[in-house]
Amino acid sequence: MPEVLKKDLKLNVSGAIPAVLLGAGFPVQALKGVPILARTAGLIAHMFEEIQQPIGFALSYQATRDVVYEGDVPTGFGTAQHA
The per-residue pLDDT for range 47-62, each reduced to its tens digit, is 999 999 988 888 888 8
User: Comparing C-alpha atoms, which of 5, 2, 11 is closest to residue 35?
Assistant: 11
- Of the pLDDT bands very low, low, confident and very high (cuts 50, 70, 90), residue 79 is low
Q: Is 79 inside a domain boundary?
A: no
pLDDT score of 2 more than 90: no
pLDDT band at 83 (very low <50, low <70, confident <90, very high): low
Q: How many domains does the chain have?
A: 1
Is there a domain that residue 82 lies in? Answer: no
Asked if 17 contacts 34 with a C-beta cutoff of 8 angstroms, the reply is: yes
3-state SS, residue 29 = helix
User: pTM of this prediction?
Assistant: 0.46
Any domain includes 20: yes
pLDDT in tens, 39-50: 898 899 999 999
Domain-located, residue 10: yes
Domain that holds residue 29: 2-66
